[in-house]
Structure 1
Amino acid sequence: MPPADQPFADHSADQPAADHPADQPFDDPTDTSLWRPLHALVASIDAAISQVYADAAIKGVKPTWVRELLRLYRTGPMTITELAEAVDRTHSALSQKVAAMKAAGLVRTTPGPDARTKHVDLTPKARHLAPRLAAEWRATEATLADLEAEIPYPITQAVTDIEQALARKSFHDRITERLREDPAWRGE
């Protein structure tokens, strides 16, 4: 055992992984990505909106929560299932989002008529913020429209074109078709 001031030596980095012999080259597919720029773009837009909130001293609100908060502001309390349907999300995804918004003090939940149902309602803090969040939403949509006018191929058109292509053949089917051709996927 080494002295207390010397940690155990970790030689695992010196050893090749059991399923990846050192003499086999490995072309890491994560070095390139068609999706990474899209994810980075969405993240930068969300960061800009978060900065708008910070500049306005709006604390504890994430841009990805605004649609749900505004829907609750317009309709009043809803079950998680109703809210998920209203914003086209899964119950599981909305349940996690509601838990995060509850922790941020923006919504509260109350038991429904049975043990499986929860009603979600805005807190006074969220009701107070809702008109400002609606203003930000309108400003963001107008800004995106301005951006689309500046570029030769609008993002909304690209999304529509991709959706039409996926209606012809699903993303799942496209991936599994390629995987059937890949010996690594088949374990060969």
Structure 2
Amino acid sequence: MAPTDPVDQDPLDEPLGTPDPPDPTRQSLWRPLRLLQASMDADIARIYSERLTEGPKSSFVMELLRLHADGPMTIAELAESVQRTHSALSQKVAAMRTAGWVETVVGDDARTRRVTLTDKARRVVDRLAAEWRATEAAIADLEAEIPYPLSRVVGDIEQALERKSFHDRIAEKLARDPAWG
């Protein structure tokens, strides 16, 4: 029985000789999820612009809250704490420092630097925590309205990827695609 849902179809299961679409990026199963998250992130940013005259970018909030809760950290410690790469966090810390949300100070030895909140950040951190709690509550409300919550989807995907990694799944498809060579 042939799959009837396009999500169930594997384009590599089509017979050889079927012409490829001119631009494969016009079909994406994940783009709607990225667009949904971007829309929700924009709404969070809108809350900040409406309520905080001098608020941080919403993408800074997790790190600011973590520094508030756990105190000064090296970039490596902060990166591990928020599950980001050292490189990504180094760039983010530089942007937060430029915007006046954090500063770096000499650590326990002269070779390390610790990231710490500025007074500007300390003045808004309680409001940032309130927004975080409100956002999580709003997400819980949304999940209660839908038949299959996103948090369950993520857990199910993680379990499936434990059985076979995304890398291995892509590599299998590429091995069957003559264009990959």
TM-score bin (small chain): 0.7 to 0.9
Superposed counterparts of 1:5-24, under 5 Å: none
Residue type of the partner of 1:152?
P
- Using CA pairs below 8 Å that are at least 6 residues apart, which structure has the higher relative contact order? 2
Residue type of the partner of 2:157?
I
Match of 1:182 among 169, 177, 180: 177
CA distance in 2, matches of 1:132, 1:60: 10
- 1:148 corresponds to which residue? 143
How far off is 1:31 after superposition? 0.5
- 2:115 corresponds to which residue? 120
- 1:48 corresponds to which residue? 43
Match of 1:104 among 86, 99, 106: 99
Q: Structure 1 residues 133 and 125, CA, compared in 2 at 3 Å: closer, same or farther? A: same
The answer on whether the counterparts of 2:48 and 2:55 sit within 8 Å (CA) in structure 1 is no
Q: Does 1:171 align with 2:141?
A: no
CA distance in 1, matches of 2:119, 2:110: 26
Q: Does 1:131 align with 2:126?
A: yes
Cα offsets for 1:151-182 (capped at 9, x unmatched): 01000000000000000000111111111111
- 1:10 corresponds to which residue? none
Supply the RMSD in Å over aligned alpha carbons: 1.5
- 1:31 corresponds to which residue? 26
CA distance in 1, matches of 2:53, 2:61: 12
CA distance in 1, matches of 2:180, 2:115: 44
- 59-68 or 162-171, which moves further after superposition? 59-68
The answer on whether the counterparts of 1:60 and 1:104 sit within 8 Å (CA) in structure 2 is no
User: TM (normalized to structure 2)?
Assistant: 0.85
Please tell me whether Structure 1 or Structure 2 has the larger radius of gyration of its CA atoms: 1
Q: Structure 1 residues 114 and 169, CA, compared in 2 at 3 Å: closer, same or farther? A: farther
Q: Which runs of 5+ in 1 are unaligned?
A: 1-23
CA distance in 1, matches of 2:27, 2:72: 45
- 1:157 corresponds to which residue? 152
For this pair of structures, how many residues does the alignment match? 162
Q: Does 1:76 align with 2:88?
A: no
- Name whichever structure is richer in helix by fraction: 2
How far off is 1:57 after superposition? 2.9
The answer on whether the counterparts of 2:104 and 2:113 sit within 8 Å (CA) in structure 1 is yes
